[in-house]
Amino acid sequence: MTTEDNAEELIIPKDALVFIPLGGVGEIGMNFYLYHYEGKWLIVDLGIGFPGDTMPGVDVMLPDPSFIEKRKKDIVGLIITHAHEDHLGGISYLWRSLNCPLYLSPFAAEMLESKLDDAGLIGRVDLRIVDKGTKIQLGPFGIEFISLTHSIPEPHALAITTPAGTVFHSGDWKFEEKALLGEAYDIQALKRIGKQGVLAMIGDSTNVFTEVAHKTERDVRESLVELFSHYAQHIVVTCFASNVARIESIAYAAAQNGRKVCLMGRSLWRVEDAARATGYLQDTPEFLSEDEAEELNPSDVLYICTGSQGEPYSALSQLTQRGNRYPRLGEGDVVIFSSRVIPGNEYAISKLQNRILATKAEVITERDCLVHVSGHPSRDNMKKMYDIIKPRIAVPVHGDLSHLLEHVKLAEECNVPFSFAIKDGEAILLDAENPEILGEAETGVLAVDGNRLVSIGADVFKKRRKIIESGSAVVTVVLTPDYKVVGDPHVSSFDILDKEKDDILSIEMKIKLAVESIEETRRDNDDAIKEVVKATLRRCIMESHGKKPMVEVHLVRL
């Protein structure tokens, strides 16, 4: 074998088939997968993640593309399996780093269009539309797009074929026998691929702890029809904006109860536009604007809102705030969470639900009633897929470590010869007889902080968390040429010190005495003086407040 030195710590044989996840393994979200063969690279998905309350001031996280960016001249293409944010949401942020053609379904292309517009990339990205059953050749990779079912239109699994073998990349999926929206899953294509022989399966792990999914989207639709009939006032439903089948089910159930539907939230309108543009929601009446809905009686309208994960600026969150946003929730109203809780969002969702309850409106979740089913495969679905595909190697993705380890056990139960629970960055050689971990590629996580991308390990985030936990203070000290403090130091703090002037004056006096007590040999050392000021202020605040704040010292010499 000839070799290609891909990184100082990672040597990849040039003619080896290698899989490297740069995101989506060990977490839910940020799906970003690489395939290597004959010196060329194929990318599958480029998604975002959500930090919850762990990253103050940050709404979106992204996988770090540095490893593949260094090799972008050898990228043959980027394939999007489906239109969920955790699979395509990173394109508008990171495409400039990759600058390669994109292959995606018509619905995914419509969903991506507005994001590209916002990022100033309209007309610059090479979008190539593919349909179910499409076969393309990208360098040494032959790809077949296989229709599956999921909670969004047009999800595709990928059969990726090379001279070294075929990889089945599942994407997000489940076996839904009578899908309400879109194509049925292509069982004949799956059986054909399995019979031809599959080297490895890269598979969804999200619902590996669920033995059997007894209910379907059709069951949810019927449940919603019954549920809505019990309420005569405002009905508000929140769901994942991209779940077009759920939006259609909610609209159907509303119509059965004599209600028109109002959409609240920009992302819902984006999805509605994309769905209608690609032939979906054809039997669903046009949705109302908020102004149109306000003219109707509460019993004649139903609201679908963004905000199922407790997002602070979502439409649902705004309904719980004081102000004139309509509808104004109160006794007799109900808010239905037609969604699951994404891990990490539990606290934000709980806070939002408590605010709703404080209005005296009722809250209904999947714990109370059949208002949601997952779009991911339960164990019985996964066993069926393994029985069809029969891979020699199983590599679980799309889950945290507990999901991956449980998926490995399931693959072993299904008599898969080799199973690997890997982590982001690990490069696995997909070899029929001797698969192995070759090493680790450069990986990481970026945060969208305002209009820039910053590593989550950056000092700015450490300081931000420190400020939230312990507060902050700024001290200004002015020194004369003979090292005397001019006047008193000035201490300011917006988030920890009380405004009593006597307390601040006392601290300022202690800082002045500490500075003037510094030994003569250290008085020309600005860093030494700043450390004395910082230590004095922290000691004072620890004594009075029990906190060690972040301290910034401004030292001015006349």
pLDDT band at 140 (very low <50, low <70, confident <90, very high): very high
Weakest-pLDDT range from 37-46, 98-107, 334-343, 469-478: 469-478
Work out whether strand 436-440 and strand 426-429 pair parallel, antiparallel, or are unpaired: antiparallel
CA-to-CA distance for 279 and 284, rounded, in angstroms?
11
pLDDT band at 402 (very low <50, low <70, confident <90, very high): very high
- pTM comes to 0.86
* Whether 181 contacts 152, CB under 8 Å: no
Taking residue 96's Cβ as centre, other Cβ atoms within 10 Å add up to: 13
Provide φ and ψ at 506, rounded to 5°.
Answer: -65, -45
Q: In the prediction, which pLDDT does 499 show? A: 60
Judge whether residue 557 has pLDDT over 90: no
Give every CB contact of residue 95 below 8 A, 6+ residues apart in sequence. Answer: 46, 102, 121, 125
DSSP string, 387-451: HHH--SEEEEESB-HHHHHHHHHHHHHTT-SEE----TTEEEE--SS--EEEEE----EEEEETT
CA-to-CA distance for 328 and 285, rounded, in angstroms?
25
What DSSP element (H or E) covers 465? Answer: helix 459-470
Weakest-pLDDT range from 30-34, 496-500, 519-523: 496-500
Dihedral sign computed on CA atoms, order 339, 129, 391, 30 = negative
Give every CB contact of residue 415 below 8 A, 6+ residues apart in sequence. Answer: none
* Whether 146 contacts 193, CB under 8 Å: yes
Provide φ and ψ at 349, rounded to 5°.
Answer: -65, -40
User: How much is the average pLDDT of 194-201?
Assistant: 98
Instruction: Give the domains, in start order, of the chain with CATH numbers.
Output: 3-211+374-455 (3.60.15.10), 217-364 (3.40.50.10710), 471-557 (3.10.20.580)
Percent of the chain with pLDDT over 70: 96
The mean predicted confidence, pLDDT, of the chain is: 91
* Whether 404 contacts 396, CB under 8 Å: yes
Judge whether residue 214 has pLDDT over 90: no
Judge whether residue 421 has pLDDT over 90: yes
CA-to-CA distance for 349 and 510, rounded, in angstroms?
45
User: How much is the average pLDDT of 211-235?
Assistant: 94
**Of residues 51 and 553, more confidently modeled:** 553
Q: What is the pLDDT of residues 24-79, one digit of tens each?
A: 999 888 999 999 999 999 999 999 987 766 666 777 899 999 999 999 999 999 99
User: How much is the average pLDDT of 351-377?
Assistant: 95
Judge whether residue 501 has pLDDT over 70: no
* Whether 554 contacts 476, CB under 8 Å: yes
CA-to-CA distance for 308 and 237, rounded, in angstroms?
9
Q: In the prediction, which pLDDT does 500 show? A: 59
Q: In the prediction, which pLDDT does 124 show? A: 92
- The tokens describing 329, both together, are 């929730």
Q: In the prediction, which pLDDT does 227 show? A: 98
Percent of the chain with pLDDT over 90: 67
User: How much is the average pLDDT of 240-264?
Assistant: 96
Weakest-pLDDT range from 107-121, 264-278, 508-522: 508-522
Task: Compute CA distances 436 → 179, 393, 439, whole Å.
Answer: 39, 10, 9
Give every CB contact of residue 336 below 8 A, 6+ residues apart in sequence. Answer: 227, 235, 236, 237, 238, 364, 365, 369, 371
Weakest-pLDDT range from 22-26, 129-133, 509-513: 509-513
User: How much is the average pLDDT of 529-546?
Assistant: 86
User: How much is the average pLDDT of 464-470?
Assistant: 74
What DSSP element (H or E) covers 226? Answer: helix 217-228
- The tokens describing 282, both together, are 């054809």
- The tokens describing 206, both together, are 């999200």
Q: What is the DSSP letter of 314?
A: S
Judge whether residue 558 has pLDDT over 90: no
- The tokens describing 152, both together, are 């969004």
**Of residues 37 and 11, more confidently modeled:** 37
DSSP string, 170-213: --S-B--TT-SSSPPP-HHHHHHHHHH--SEEEEE-TTTT-S--
